[in-house]
Amino acid sequence: MKFEKFKARSNWRARADEAGYLASILDNPPYWVEALEEPFCGVLTLDEVENCIEMATAEIYERALEAVDFVVNGARSEEWFDRLAICPTYRNAIRRSWRRADHSIYGRFDFSYNDGVLKLLELNFDTPTSIYEAAVLQWFWLEDLKNQGSLPGASDQFNSLHERLIGVFAKVGIGENKLHLCSVADAPEDEDTVRYLQSCAMQAGLDTRYLLMTDVGVDNKGRLVDTEGKAIRQLFKLYPWEFIMYEDQGFRSRTGKYAFPPLIEANAVRFLEPSWKLILSNKANLPLLWHLFPDHKFLLPAAFDDDSPEAKKLRRAAHVRKPIFGREGGSVSIVDPNGQQQPVTNESWYGREGFVLQSLHALPTYQGYHVVLGSWVIDGQPAGLGMRADRSPITSNTAIFVPHYIQN
Amino acid sequence: MNCSFLGGKNYTNMNSTNKSKRSNSLSLVALGAMITCTAALTGCTIAPERTQAEKDKEDKTQGYSSSSSTSYFHTGSSSGVHSTPGGSTVTRGAFGSYGSSAG
């Protein structure tokens, strides 16, 4: 993999608008790479895509599902639920969801791919974003640069995201054609993500409706209802399960009962992503994966941030400290006891549930940006790639989206 | 689904090869049109702006109130219990107060 500069399209903002993306999100501050003075892109060979990134994505996804099964059905299930900081009230609901094989739409692995070595940094399998940028915007970019002769006509992209999303929503629509989708208020990036997924669901033939998460109601029969009081049977929520888990305590304080676990256990509402994603989108699964698959070629050594020998060993070299529940690099620190790596901390409110440690595998850099690979899984299959670049070695919500192409 | 924007734009990869990582057509729905059209089709509700009380609640719930490492919950409380014309009650606003956390 390498990076190279390219000349920004003169009409890239118009092209983004044409695609329905809010240019203000792309431009202020810069989010899409063409907003930079010197935009750059990633360049991969087909061999790298097929025999490294795609293969690793499929391999790690299988191992991750094994880890979920280990937590749900293993002899030490309760112990691992404790370590994952998942409250007891939700555990049986998660077990039901997993054993029912509740459908998953998507997820994203973040990889560090440096000097030909690929390592898993973390899993985003509950509320991943940047899917629209990866599926559509970078595809437009590729087509435009090919059409204007800036890239060879044979150039390609690891990207079947759009088609696969429509395909998986078509499966979701079997048996229940209605789908509600929600995100939180005052978050245009989140809403655009959900609107895009809604459009995919509509193209798959589903009858969809968007609402805000705060407008999801619970009636006195315990049903979820929309703003018109109609029962919600399928809900795509771009809202973390751990937040729902926290807020359900407040709901119980008010009403005397939890809202979500009974719905999950009775399968009264099909949730997308399903509740078993609480295990996958949880950084405690990094030491879990290392525990189950030590020395796996795509995994980094990881341990809970405690007094265990594993943790003490990790602290002796450069490592990353991550909150068990966290997003967008919040409360992540890079620590190097030997002083070779400058310490970095991204302060946030995450971390109350504890932390994990992971051996440091530095991201490749270009023009002062640290570039992370986001490898998407749609309906259980590797489906595409997006890159994000941050000035900090800790990728945050200020990272810039970088398109890529496959050099043939 | 008979909505004018569906199928209104068709972007097809004409250069697919047998090695292409993308082989199917990309039929894209413009999001701007999507929002308008969805509202027209389904009566999509535009939510009101959050009140100051709601924003205060978000601030409160984002700041943990307990230092216990074993407590699983914040202290956020549900709010907004409404009666419906049918006589039942609906509680809204109990979920979603944390704001954006996707990534």
Segment A24-54, tens digit of pLDDT: 666 667 889 999 999 999 999 999 999 999 9
- The CA radius of gyration of chain A, in Å to the nearest whole number, is 21
Most confident of A56-60, A247-251, B47-51: A56-60
Measure the CA–CA gap between A22 and B47, rounded to whole angstroms: 19
pLDDT in tens, A241-293: 999 999 999 999 989 999 999 999 999 999 999 999 999 989 999 999 999 99
A407 touches chain B (CB under 8 A): no
Q: Is the ipTM of this complex over 0.90?
A: no
Q: How confident is the model over A333-366, as pLDDT tens digits?
A: 899 888 776 777 777 777 888 999 999 999 999 9
Q: Which B residues 67-96 touch A at CB under 8 Å?
A: 69, 72-79, 81-82, 84, 86, 88-96
* B102/A238 Cβ within 8 A: yes
What is the arithmetic mean of pLDDT over B43-65?
33
Residues of A in contact with B33 (CB under 8 A): 20
Of B1, B76, B96, the CB nearest to A184: B96
Q: In the structure encoding, which two tokens stand for residue B12, read together?
A: 């097809």
**What's the rounded mean pLDDT across residues A104-113?**
97
Nearest CA in chain B to A179: B42
Contact present, A337 and A317 (Cβ < 8 Å): yes
B 18-57 → A contacts, CB under 8 A: 19-35, 38, 42-45, 47, 49-50, 54
Q: How far out from the chain centre does Cα A378 lie?
A: 11
Let me know: does A5 contact A13? Beta carbons within 8 Å. no
Sign of the alpha-carbon torsion through A27, A29, A34, A36: positive
d(CA A110, CA A121): 6
Percent of chain A with pLDDT over 70: 98
Does residue A155 contact residue A405 with C-beta atoms inside 8 Å? yes
Residue A211 sits at the chain B interface (C-beta within 8 Å): yes
Number of cross-chain residue pairs from A and B with Cβ atoms under 8 Å apart: 237
A197 to chain B nearest CA, in Å? 10
